[in-house]
Structures are given as structure tokens and as C-alpha cells.
Amino acid sequence: MKEMLARTFVALFSGCVMIPAVSSQAAAQTDAPYIDDRSDPAALIRSLYSAINRHEYARAWDYFGETKPAADFESFAKGYEGTVSVDVETGGVLEEGAAGSIYYTLPVAIRAEQEDGSHKVFAGCYTLRQLSAQTQEPPFRPLHIEKGALEPSTSDFDKALPSSCEDGQMVPERDTLLEKARVVFAANYGDRCDAALTSGDEAQEPSAYTIRYSTKTDDAERQARLFRFLCMRGAYNETFAFFISDEDGGVRQLQFSEPDLDIHYANNDPEGELEAVNVIGYTVTDELVNADYDETSHMIVSHAKWRGVGDASSTATWLFRNGRFGLVQYDVDASYDGQINPETVLDYNSAP
């Protein structure tokens, strides 16, 4: 009984869990990424669990300051016997300066996998401390963990992260779907978009919208998140990429259908008389020009200028219904005549 209580204390203090003994074969198969980063509180906590997942307990022990999570290193390491893997989520950090130190309070949730395949979820907070780097003398003491306390949680892992820590202070809740959208956008558009607009001085925050809806076969209210990222900016056009969440908590990029046009001008001269605009098929695009989402009508509208004066252009409208965006209208002004006179070449948006 005493040994069990001792192990429980180690686990709650260090933010980890005890699970059944793991075989040397399971330990050898561990392929967790090596993370050793003290640049900020969240990075340090990720480094702690990287060490635990890799069974590098001396490295994990070293992330704590003078106040250690166990009486000695042997007890600390023994407390993790059987740990197969630990997933970690961190929340918004609170920062407070005091007498040559900066203290950080960080909400944390973890999911520990046991050898039998079951999982346990723990949640709580860590306190970290950074001594003033300017006033220190060797040996230098980097950012370290002062204390931590995680308790068993009955919530699912993706909902267990605390929104507040000590003294009831609220911390900003992480928008995990937006973070996922950022990752997908960077992976798909990292080399295609203007870096100054995505990560440089001109970078703009993506627009985020919440869409509540039901389907024809299910009256239950559902919710989707829509994200719009600026990609390129020209003299009179901007291009955007859109991403949407799915019911499984993932994020995917939106693809938009639009008509393939066959346009005829007198004498094949675009500056001449417009003779015909025919829809000959459909294409798909993943970037929209001058596009925005209207939360009232649940529509994405794109208006592409074919030249700066705007007398030639195309305007497309996609309506959100039954959980997806569908093309409902396409207007084209194909005449370079100095006049704004579009014609509708596709209309699924109006009653017959």
C-alpha cells in the first residue's frame, strides 16, 4: 500500500502516470521523436514527455529544478515502469515576474497508453520558472519545472485540457482546429503562396467562422469550422484557400467546382464584340479570387477581375447546405467594353 501511494505521488507531481511494467522488447520498439527544447513552457513540457516516451528518465529528471518530483532518481524512474506512450496537450500560458524570476503556469492534459492497450487521461497544471538570464553566474540554470499536479480526468483526451489554473485565472483556450488548419495550409501552400503574406511582416491572421447546420436526413444540430487563408496579392486580385473541419475533428481543404467556359469574340478579338459564352464542362479549383464567406447567407462568393478596371470579370457563388459547399450561381462579364454588364451562365440559386 505504501509503495502504491508513493508511486501515485510521483505521477501526480510530475504530470505522468504509472502503468504496468513494460517488457524490454516494447521499450526497444519505442520510436518517439527526440525533443529537447527549453525555449518556452509548452516546448519544455513536450520535451519532458518526449523523454518519458523514449524511456530517457535522466533527461526527464533534469527538466525539474531543485525541487524534484520524487525522493531520488531511482524512485522517479521506477514510477514510470510500464509506460508505453504518453500524448500531451498544452493550453495558454500565464506569465508573472517576481524577484529576478519569471513564473509560468501552464494547463496540461495527457493520455497514457498502458501495456494492455487501455488509456488513462490526466489533467492539471505545471508551474515553470526562468531565473533572470542577465544576472546568473555559471552554471547557467535554464527554464525548468518547479512543480506539477495532474489528476485523473473522466473527460475524453481532446476535451480534458483545463481552461484555468491557479487562483481561478482564466487562460486563453487553444483553437485546436485552427492550429490543424494552419498545419494543413503550410503543408499544401508553403511553396505556393507569398511568404510575406503567410509568415512575414504582412502576414494576416486567417478568418475563422462557425457554421451550425443540420442535414436533410438528420435534424440534429451539427457544427463546422471554416477557415480562410490569404495566399497571394496582386494589383487588383487576392487569392485565398479555404479549409473546413469534419465531424471527426480533422481539417480538410475545400475544392470548388466551377464551369469551364468557351467564349467567342468577333474575329477572335477579346476587345471586339462578344458573341457567345458557353458552359462546356466543369473544373475544380483550390484557390478562390477575392473570396469571402457571408455568415448570414452561408455563401462563399468569389469575384475575379480579369483586368484592373473591372469591366471583365467572373463571379461565383457556393452555398453551404447538408454539410458541404455547392456551386449555385456563376456570372460572367466577358466583354472588355468599359461597362459592368455580367450575365448569369449558371443558376441553381433561383426558383424556376
pLDDT in tens, 15-49: 343 333 344 334 434 578 899 999 899 999 999 99
pLDDT at position 309, please? 92
Residue range 121-135: mean pLDDT, rounded = 87
Give the integer Cα–Cα distance in Å for 108 and 161: 6
pLDDT in tens, 284-297: 999 999 999 999 99
Residue range 221-232: mean pLDDT, rounded = 92
pLDDT at position 70, please? 86
Calculate the CA 138 to chain-centre distance.
39
Residue with more model confidence, 174 or 121: 121
pLDDT at position 169 over 70: no
pLDDT in tens, 172-217: 455 788 888 988 998 888 888 988 887 655 677 899 999 988 887 7
Residue range 145-164: mean pLDDT, rounded = 88
Give the integer Cα–Cα distance in Å for 300 and 107: 37
pLDDT in tens, 67-115: 888 888 998 888 777 778 899 999 888 888 766 788 899 999 999 887 8
Residue with more model confidence, 221 or 291: 291
CB distance 62 to 76 below 8 Å: no
C-alpha gyration radius of the chain: 28
pLDDT at position 25, please? 35
SS (H, E, C) the chain: CHHHHHHHHHHHHHCCCCCCCCCHHHHHCCCCCCCCCCCCHHHHHHHHHHHHHCCCHHHHHHCECCCCCCCCHHHHHHCCCCCCEEEEEECCCEEEEECCEEEEEEEEEEEEECCCCCEEEEEEEEEEEEECCCCCCCCCCCCEEEEEEEEECCCCHHHCCCCECHHHCECCCCCHHHHHHHHHHHHHHCCCCCHHHHCCCCCCCCEEEEEEEEECCEEEEEEEEEEEEEEEECCCCEEEEEEEECCCCCEEECCEEEEEEEEEEHHHCCCCCEEEEEEEEEEEECCEECEEEECCCCEEEEEEECCCCCCCEEEEEEEEECCEEEEEEEEEECCCCCCCCCEEEEECCCCC
Residue closest to 166 by CA, chosen among 118, 104, 117: 104
User: pLDDT grade, residue 11 (50/70/90)?
Assistant: very low
Burial of 91 (0-12, 13-18, 19+ CB in 10 A): buried
User: pLDDT grade, residue 168 (50/70/90)?
Assistant: very low
Residue 101, C-alpha cell as written in the block: 524570476
Average pLDDT for the chain: 84
pLDDT at position 99, please? 61
Residue range 315-335: mean pLDDT, rounded = 95
Calculate the CA 168 to chain-centre distance.
26
pLDDT at position 222, please? 86
Residue with cell 518526449: 50
pTM of the model: 0.55
Residue closest to 249 by CA, chosen among 323, 163, 295, 181: 181
Residue 197, amino acid:
L
Residue range 224-228: mean pLDDT, rounded = 95
pLDDT at position 174, please? 59
Lowest-confidence pick of 161-170, 267-276, 300-309 = 161-170
pLDDT at position 166, please? 61
CB distance 229 to 254 below 8 Å: no
